[in-house]
Amino acid sequence: MKHNHCLLVLLSCIAVQILEGTSTLCGAESAPMFREFCVSPSGNDANPGTVGLPFRTLSRARDAVRAINRGMTGDIVVNLRGGDYPLTAPVEFTPADSGGNGFQIIYRAYNHEKPVISGGVPVSGWTLDHGRIYKAKLDSNEKLRTLYVNGVRASMTQKVVKGLGPWGEFDVQGTEPWALTSGTNFDGICFNPLEVPPLTNPSDVELSQARTWNFPIVCVREQAQENGFRVLKLQQPCGAIAATLGWGCGIDPKKDFTLRNAFEFLNKPGQFYFNRATHTLYYFARDGEDMNQATVIAPVSEGLLWLTGKTTGNRVQNLAFKGITFVYDHWLLKQVGDSRGFAGVQSLGLYTKYRADGNHHKGHAYSMLDLPQATVELRNCRNITFERNCFEHLSSGCALCLVNDVIECSVIGNVFQDISGNSINVGHPQHYYLEATPLFPAGVQGICAHIKIADNLIRKVCLEFKQEEALTGFLTQSVEITHNDIAGVPYGGIALGWGWGTSKIAPSTIPKDNLITSNKVVNTQEELPGDGGGIYVLGEQPGGRIEGNYVRSHARLYYPDEGSAYWTITRNVAEPHKGQTWLHIWHPTCHDLTINDNFTITDKMNVRGTRTPILNTHLETLPWSPQAQAVIDAAGLESAFKDIAFAPK
């Protein structure tokens, strides 16, 4: 797929507006126009930015807006003509780029055209190396983790190999900037040298392992041959951090690992390997692929769009992005010290500090956690809109992340597909007490509140970072997650909240008035069925409602986990696979839940909560009753956004 679906979304937007007699520019506004600019891939940044003489880049248009936005008496519109806008680094918007005097600055697709913000570079000049393996030059000094051939994601080379035990010791003094305690952990993994030969560039190799409910990734710094073993020494401190993850989530040196990104494992169609020392990219062609004609894209930009305010009193505000396609960004995993890895204990929460006991509940609550890089990040922002955009072919840990102090924003009618991480995240685990933390000092930290996430289509997400849910939130207020359509994810569908009742940390008083309503969530937990839920919540959330949703999936369709409280769960439909539970309240720390008037095809539940009566459950047989079917029919995309659906599930 070469963004054809996203083009159809834009065309349908134009058609609706023409019928309604509005502007033929997608996302036309009723506010008066103050100034209009135009950007085109065939333009020139020395131009005045008109339709006849457009700018060339998004950053030039941003700077032109910055020069006039203080005297706004109407909206400023930046029209993006169709075509690719290549980036090698994210475009950043600061408070100086905000809409002024209560008016908006709108960056939108021009007419029926399709602007594509791309962080990738084309790779051409392929020659046959041997067999079906081709090679080409790529001018990059960075490790390459994703590649796209004719719009189809290729994969890093890989091989599953059993670890034969730990090697060496890595000592932590406890005074390092990435350490909370002292401790000692193994420094490498031993393997059979017949299964792991000498590796061409060991520092580019990654080791991943499936654990209880996560897939930690550690990177190699060097290799050695000792005592009959092939030793892969880990990049530190990420290796030690990943080894200490609690709850059976830490890497185990005696279990199977998936070794990735070694030339020696290039043996299957659709795999690639980039030797950055020689700038040579290798690719094992799939059946029918003609590399002389193929369109090959290598991501190079670490993220695409960053909206970065300064403080809670100096935000980026009053911006809208409409009808834009975001593609091909790059991520090298989380950097801690001089190492990289993905030490995620659950959801998007990544360990960035070492604790010998691996318990992120101890010390200052969750101060050791951070989030993965996002393709589009918002920090200290107000009144930002993302509407009818496409996010696809992305490599970051999250496509769109509303990180800190993001208020009064909306994410409506977007398409998310073919993404390494999840689609949308709101908030951060360091908001637990809303006080100064290492990442968010006083005056910077702020909760994410009054946000609407509606009518988004979410497919083929969490392709690499499989422990993430499709759509997530941490400690939020008045966040409305409604009418989204989610299908086919390795772990959970929607997860909202943070903090466990058994952690001995006082419940956070931040979350309240959050809504999860009228969503369609099907086929979750496809690779991690032992945990998670179709709709999963945590923590005390007064005023929270889970209502009118339709979940059809493998297990634990509605799952209030430890410490969940004060939710009203009503008029939902649950269609579990045969023999599975529809409601999972497994711990007495869940309390004061109102569960009433739900529809299901099974009476199988796990209910051990405190003051959590289950009332008026409608046990049905298929086909559904008219009442249940009405809930199903109303869940998912609303009629105004049905046009973005491309594959019924």
What's the pLDDT at 1?
42
Nearest to 412 by CA among 390, 385, 450: 385
Identify the sign of the CA torsion 292, 297, 300, 301: positive
Is the pLDDT reported for residue 634 higher than 80?
yes
pLDDT in tens, 452-504: 999 999 999 999 999 999 999 999 999 999 999 999 999 999 999 999 988 88
Average pLDDT over residues 95-108: 97
563 vs 581: CA distance, rounded Å:
20
What's the pLDDT at 470?
98
What's the pLDDT at 3?
53
Please say whether the beta carbons of 329 and 375 come within 8 A. yes
Q: Which residues pair with 115 in a beta bridge?
A: 83
pLDDT in tens, 358-376: 998 887 779 999 999 999 9
pLDDT in tens, 163-218: 999 999 999 999 999 999 999 999 999 999 999 999 999 999 999 999 988 899 99
Is the pLDDT reported for residue 18 higher than 50?
no
Strands 33-39 and 75-80: parallel
Nearest to 255 by CA among 243, 247, 265: 243
**Structure tokens that stand for 561 in this block:** 């986990």
Cα distances from 373 to residues 85, 310, 329, 378, 582, in angstroms, run 21, 19, 10, 11, 34
Phi, psi of 352 (to 5 degrees): -125, 5
126 vs 282: CA distance, rounded Å:
9
Domains for the chain: give ranges and CATH numbers.
1-80+94-111 (no CATH), 121-298 (no CATH), 374-649 (2.160.20)
Please report which confidence band the pLDDT of residue 279 belongs to, taking 50, 70 and 90 as the band edges: very high
Please report which confidence band the pLDDT of residue 5 belongs to, taking 50, 70 and 90 as the band edges: low
What's the pLDDT at 251?
96
What's the pLDDT at 61?
98
Q: Which residues pair with 471 in a beta bridge?
A: 424, 494
Strands 349-351 and 344-346: antiparallel
Is the pLDDT reported for residue 53 higher than 60?
yes
Is the pLDDT reported for residue 514 higher than 50?
yes
37 vs 49: CA distance, rounded Å:
5
Strands 133-137 and 280-284: antiparallel
**Structure tokens that stand for 298 in this block:** 């290598």
- H/E stretch holding 72 reads none
Nearest to 523 by CA among 548, 496, 491, 547: 491
What's the pLDDT at 7?
53
What's the pLDDT at 117?
98
Query: 10 Å Cβ neighbour count for 4?
Result: 10
What's the pLDDT at 435?
85
What's the pLDDT at 555?
84
Kindly compute the dihedral angle of the four CA atoms of residues 378, 382, 383, 388, in this order, to the nearest 10 degrees: 10
**Structure tokens that stand for 628 in this block:** 């249940």
Q: What is the DSSP letter of 286?
A: P
pLDDT in tens, 115-127: 999 999 999 999 9
pLDDT in tens, 324-362: 999 999 999 999 999 999 999 899 999 999 999 999 888
What's the pLDDT at 363?
72
Is the pLDDT reported for residue 17 higher than 80?
no
> How many angstroms separate the first and last alpha carbons of the chain?
18
What's the pLDDT at 436?
87
Average pLDDT over residues 132-158: 97
Query: 10 Å Cβ neighbour count for 175?
Result: 7
- pTM for this prediction: 0.94
pLDDT in tens, 551-595: 999 889 999 999 999 999 999 999 998 888 999 999 999 999 999
33 vs 412: CA distance, rounded Å:
23
Q: What is the DSSP letter of 347?
A: T
